[in-house]
Structure 1
Amino acid sequence: MTIHPAPARVVLLSGPSGSGKSSLAARTGLPVLNLDDFYKEGEDPTLPQLAGGGGTDWDSPLSWDADAAVAAIDALGRTSRTTVPVYDIASSSRVGEEPLDIGRTPLFIAEGIFAADIIGRCAELGVLADAICLRGRPSTTFRRRLLRDLREGRKSAPYLLRRGWRLMRAERGIVARQTALGAYACGRDAALERIAAASAGRCASHEPSPTATIA
């Protein structure tokens, strides 16, 4: 009789841009699916636009291919492998693709600013282990995001400053929206505890996120 391994499950790690998702995901030692690689390309006519001719709104979920992201998560859960795009943020384009194999691990992380938008779909597929929204102080997030984006040359400095100020003002609303979608909002240490619990096969509690002041 052939024994099939249990399907892998996913921890969806969301949070504002610059909140430290990638660093936290790497720290867990688990396989990581980078959901930012599923951005649409710059010439896609369905890309949302900022008001007043400000260009593409890359912080809208409509700038992202949720269907492809969910398909990749489903494939990893069922078969432990998939092919993912390689996205270059500076040029707003896909520059290739690469295989992702998570091996025999029962748990992996999918992280990105739109991860909360697919919580319901992952739950319906039976692959959701937990959903976390990483949060902190908006001023800290602003500095971390700006330094990262300038270092990586993601966009021009004026664009990054304008986007940074806009996102800092909107950060509490971003966290509230992701929490409403089902993510548990917390800081780094609590997030690591929840991921450790999921890795050990324990179900994390989904009580409402505690209220916190993040001035």
Structure 2
Amino acid sequence: MPARVIVLAGPSGSGKSRLAERLALPVLRLDDFYKSGGDPSLPLITHGPNEGLVDWDHPDSWLPDEGVAALVELCRTGEVDVPVYEIARNGRTGTQRLHLDGAPLVVAEGIFAPDVVEPLREAGVLAAAFCVRRPAPVTFLLRLQRDLRERRKPPLMLVRRGVALMREQRHVVADAVAKGCEAVGLREAEGRVAALRESTRA
């Protein structure tokens, strides 16, 4: 195996995407493996003010097998084609070629990242798995600012979704830990990844 995977999980808005960018490693965005908006198998919200809308926070809203297969191929061959997904368009808009360029580690990040931990471990390509956490109010504000800036959904929907996610944040972290992630802060996660990079160089 020419490379192994560092999984970065965490609640939406926890900072895992920005952390992945700062690590100067190849990054595979698991959120690009969402199903398209017209897929009839998408789960729906069954109660509350958003009842009847697609539940994009449900694990059935994405394609985990495709994400795992892409990561394993990337680790084994050094390159792989991955989808490009635009949330504002509710679907894939193309593909791009992701290369390791000799890097011994690749970062996989996304809100469903805990679901790939065990399959990657079984495939022998898991280096580490972290769940990034922040105080729930901070996560709520940062997520809302990002989603409004990127015009992901109508503002009222984003606020309602953000409140629901804030209430569920501790359960998201607990689920990630149960699936093999280690709960850490942003700085600790960055330090742990730096240590992994040093160990691979050694």
TM-score class, shorter-chain normalisation, is over 0.9
Aligned partner of 2:188 in structure 1 is 190
Q: Which amino acid aligns with 1:51?
A: T
Aligned partner of 2:178 in structure 1 is 180
Q: Which amino acid aligns with 1:55?
A: L
Match of 1:201, SS? Answer: helix
Deviation at 1:106, TM superposition (A): 0.5
Deviation at 1:196, TM superposition (A): 1.3
Of the two structures, which has the highest relative contact order with CA contacts closer than 8 Å and spacing of 6 or more?
2
Q: Map 1:158-173 onto structure 2 (within 5 A).
A: 158-173=156-171
The structure whose residues are more often helix, as a share, is 2
Q: Map 1:1-215 onto structure 2 (within 5 A).
A: 6-52=1-47, 53-201=51-199
Q: TM-score, normalised by structure 2?
A: 0.95
In 1, the alpha carbon distance for the partners of 2:97 and 2:135 equals 36
Q: Which amino acid aligns with 2:102?
A: R
Superposition misfits of 4+ residues, deviation over 4 angstroms: none
Comparing 139-148 and 26-35, the one that deviates more: 26-35
Note the aligned Cα RMSD (angstroms): 1.0
In 2, the alpha carbon distance for the partners of 1:184 and 1:41 equals 31
Deviation at 1:201, TM superposition (A): 2.8
In 2, the alpha carbon distance for the partners of 1:187 and 1:60 equals 24
Match of 2:176, SS? Answer: helix
Q: Which amino acid aligns with 2:64?
A: A
Match of 2:199, SS? Answer: coil
Deviation at 1:54, TM superposition (A): 3.5
Match of 1:132, SS? Answer: strand
What is the percentage of aligned positions where both structures have the same residue?
Answer: 51
In 2, the alpha carbon distance for the partners of 1:158 and 1:199 equals 42
Structure 1: 5+ residue runs without aligned partners? 1-5, 203-215
In 2, the alpha carbon distance for the partners of 1:79 and 1:41 equals 28
Deviation at 1:97, TM superposition (A): 0.7
Q: Which amino acid aligns with 2:9?
A: S
Q: Which amino acid aligns with 1:169?
A: R
Match of 1:87, SS? Answer: strand
Match of 1:173, SS? Answer: helix
Equivalent pairs, count: 197
